[in-house]
Structure 1
Amino acid sequence: MLRRSKRSSSSYYLLRRIALAAKAAKGEQSRCGIVGRSSSCSCSRFLTTGGIDDGEDDHDASTSSSSSTTLIKKRINDEYVDTEAAMERTRMKAAALKAAGLKAESMTVFDREVKRAHRDRAAYLQREKKEEKEKKSSSSEGDFLLEEATRRVLDRLDDIKRPFKRILVIGGATVSTVKQLLEKRRDVETIIACDSSEATLLLVKDIVGDAPKRKFDSFPVEIKYVQAFEDDLPIKDNVVDCVLSVLGLHWVNDLPGAMGQARCTLVPDGLFLSAIFGGDTLTELRIACALAETENEGGVSARVSPLAHVRDAGNLLGRAGLRLPAVDVDTLTLNYKTPMDLVEHLRMMGEQNAVIERRQTIKRSTMELANQKYVENFSALSLSNDDDASMPKPSSSESGISATFQILYMTGWSPSETQQKAKERGSATVSLSDLKSALEEKEEEEEKK
């Protein structure tokens, strides 16, 4: 199930090796800087690995022949980004774990460096697909699942009748989210795109251009590109009106902590709106792999990453300090010609398994048996999505296999003195039983009439 296309895989790793060689040649030790500054777009880079240069000498900047790409080794502290505070928060977190006798590794489920590599590769594949469509002069559309999930998140945002001028976009479907915000929102003025993958941020910048504008009125929109992990946000407190995350936070090790950091970036009564894959996602793939490994190897290993369930989502919002929590669910069933088409789609989205304790290999015989079990047990449905027949799908044919994607939507608000609050327990003046009796009496009177 993990076989790679030789051409795309070799090209990707060749590019990675070239990039690493160029980085070593420049002697770059900093993990914090600015990349790609232009008149309306800027990119800050912050990762917790590596050191930080003091940035006292700005002449140490490496500038390309075109002024659109610049690398400056220094700490960033502007209107929205403060990497010093983020680094201090990281040190305090490590100190707290040490004081408790714990190691960061013991609290880690996902390998975020591996996940960053997955997202780099996904950005490369998406760019390759985009360039192929442009050569054929066909419309360049993004990934159908990421686009649809983003559309549904923004539909929920449209239901809230208030302006959101400053929006923070965190990980996941960063490309689709930024693009659709420019196309659909009439109020956005500043977008902060935060992603662990620099390749993804560069892809976003290439798509929206150096001078992004709202589609409705051509109003110029400032976009800041920040490279950072979702649970180490170098964003200042109380600077954005809304935080959006579409299919990104389910790879975070400290999910309540990451959501709490997102809450801190919000102004009072600011909106947090997130979509993550739920626990019923890829149930068919889990079962097929488990059956194949049990039959062929006499045991089962984790081939699909663990995901949150609906009952967990409300607790996560509360632990993050968000008020008025709300959770709803969508279940999408998509058709694919073969199980390998499903796996390639997961790679295209950067959704490969990133569990630290995962098995690195799979036997060819086990892979072939898993394919067979999948086809035998989960043939494609005649309709790829029961909720929305217009949902884009890879294959409209009834032959093939089906795959389930459960999406949990989590909504919460940052605390504010002005927002509505729930009444205290015991403050009610009317019992539900009295209300029920009154309604029944009213129905009886209407029937008599």
Structure 2
Amino acid sequence: MTEGPIEHSVPRIFSPARRRARYHRALARQGDQDAARFVFDDMIEDVLERFDFTRAEPGSTLVIGDVTGQLVPELRSRGFEVESAGPDGLDEEQPFPRTYRYVLNLGLLDTLNDLPGALVHARHALEPGGMMIAQCLGAGTLPALRQVVQVADGARTYARIHPQIDRPAASGLMSRAGFAKQVVDSRVLRARYGELGRLIADLRDQGLAGILADAPPAFTRPAWARAQAGFEPLREEDGKVTETFEILSLTGWS
């Protein structure tokens, strides 16, 4: 069977320059021992559990996007030959320079303009029988923040939170990319916040803040006051607000 190119038009949703800048800011913020890491802790734990479940033998591995720097040393301690890359050094929307037994992507897949093409390139970057695991935020993420920014913007709303991928769409994209077999799972993390500013800081710490190509205007002081006011009705009995992070795990084999 001859494999032809996947034809599609590439939307302009995200800014690659803002994506790279966000990654560098997160790397710098991770230098603070109190920086939030819980989303990446969960992603890394899931990757390692999948390696254990599939009895993955050591092999050449590319880790993309781990701002915490925790996955590479863990894999090396298990005998894997590991390279690390970020969006500043690797364009996931272009062919990879070499092939690997494993390609692991943490927290970046959902901010690509050409996601179908990127998945094809990731598959082509796998050796025969190789495995890709990508972890990213899914469609159930940040419902509380969505409500808050709507209140803050008032009658004239702006796109401030990224469009997100749900499980059926992710599964369809994996099949379309031509993986020999694929699995898409999702799970939910919940975090509790007493202050809106802490939620925003946690997103920035982990490189999860907005990078839309058409950047919305910055909050004015009145808008920030409205945002904080919009945060108040979401408080539960203990005075805190629950925010939700849906994590998608996309696993595919060449």
Mark yes or no: TM-score above 0.5: yes
What one-letter code is carried by the residue in structure 1 that aligns with 2:149?
C
What one-letter code is carried by the residue in structure 2 that aligns with 1:150?
I
Q: Distance in 1 between matches of 2:186 and 2:18?
A: 28
What one-letter code is carried by the residue in structure 2 that aligns with 1:343?
I
Task: Report the 3-state secondary structure (helix = DSSP H, G, I; strand = E; otherwise coil) of the residue aligned with 1:326.
Answer: strand
What one-letter code is carried by the residue in structure 2 that aligns with 1:309?
D
Instruction: Give the aligned partner of residue 65 of structure 2.
Output: 171
Cα distance, 1:321–1:359 mapped onto 2, change above 3 Å: same
Task: Report the 3-state secondary structure (helix = DSSP H, G, I; strand = E; otherwise coil) of the residue aligned with 1:289.
Answer: helix
Q: Per-residue displacement from partner, 1:212-233 (whole Å, max 9, x unpaired)?
A: xxxxxxxxxxxxxxx2222235
Q: Which runs of 5+ in 1 are unaligned?
A: 1-92, 134-140, 198-226, 382-397, 415-449
CA contact (8 A) 1:170 1:230 kept: no
Kindly report the root-mean-square deviation, in angstroms, between the aligned alpha carbons of the 2 structures. Answer: 2.3
Give yes or no for the alignment of 1:235 onto 2:104.
no
Structure number with the bigger relative contact order (C-alpha 8 A, sep ≥ 6) is 2
Instruction: Give the aligned partner of residue 196 of structure 1.
Output: 87
Q: Distance in 2 between matches of 1:108 and 1:281?
A: 21
Q: Distance in 1 between matches of 2:195 and 2:76?
A: 35
CA contact (8 A) 2:30 2:67 kept: no
Q: Per-residue displacement from partner, 1:200-251 (whole Å, max 9, x unpaired)?
A: xxxxxxxxxxxxxxxxxxxxxxxxxxx2222235422xx3111111212111
Give yes or no for the alignment of 1:291 onto 2:148.
no
* Structure 1 outlier segments of 4+, above 4 Å: none
Task: Report the 3-state secondary structure (helix = DSSP H, G, I; strand = E; otherwise coil) of the residue aligned with 1:114.
Answer: helix
CA contact (8 A) 1:177 1:246 kept: no
User: Could you tell me which of 23, 26, 33 is aligned with 1:119?
Assistant: 23
CA contact (8 A) 2:135 2:248 kept: yes
Q: Distance in 1 between matches of 2:186 and 2:132?
A: 16
Instruction: Give the aligned partner of residue 31 of structure 1.
Output: none
Instruction: Give the aligned partner of residue 245 of structure 1.
Output: 105
CA contact (8 A) 2:30 2:68 kept: no
Instruction: Give the aligned partner of residue 186 of structure 2.
Output: 329
Give yes or no for the alignment of 1:342 onto 2:199.
yes
Q: Distance in 1 between matches of 2:236 and 2:133?
A: 32
Give yes or no for the alignment of 1:407 onto 2:234.
no
Instruction: Give the aligned partner of residue 24 of structure 1.
Output: none
Matches within 5 A, 1:272-421: 272-294=132-154, 298-377=155-234, 379=235, 398-414=238-254
What one-letter code is carried by the residue in structure 1 that aligns with 2:83?
I
Q: Distance in 2 between matches of 1:193 and 1:380?
A: 41
Q: Distance in 2 between matches of 1:359 and 1:158?
A: 43
Q: Distance in 2 between matches of 1:142 and 1:352?
A: 13
Q: Per-residue displacement from partner, 1:382-421 (whole Å, max 9, x unpaired)?
A: xxxxxxxxxxxxxxxx43222100001111110xxxxxxx
Cα distance, 1:275–1:175 mapped onto 2, change above 3 Å: same
User: Could you state the TM-score of these two structures normalised by the residue count of structure 1?
Assistant: 0.52
Cα distance, 1:125–1:162 mapped onto 2, change above 3 Å: closer
What one-letter code is carried by the residue in structure 1 that aligns with 2:24?
D
What one-letter code is carried by the residue in structure 2 that aligns with 1:230?
E
Q: Distance in 1 between matches of 2:174 and 2:109?
A: 13
Q: Distance in 2 between matches of 1:107 and 1:287?
A: 26
Mark the structure with the bigger radius of gyration. 1
1:149 Cα offset (Å): 1.8
> What is the percent sequence identity of the aligned residues?
27
Cα distance, 1:118–1:162 mapped onto 2, change above 3 Å: closer
CA contact (8 A) 2:162 2:212 kept: yes
Q: Which runs of 5+ in 2 are unaligned?
A: none
What one-letter code is carried by the residue in structure 1 that aligns with 2:97?
I
User: Could you state the TM-score of these two structures normalised by the residue count of structure 2?
Assistant: 0.89
1:368 Cα offset (Å): 1.4
Give yes or no for the alignment of 1:267 onto 2:171.
no
What one-letter code is carried by the residue in structure 2 that aligns with 1:278?
G
CA contact (8 A) 2:27 2:68 kept: no
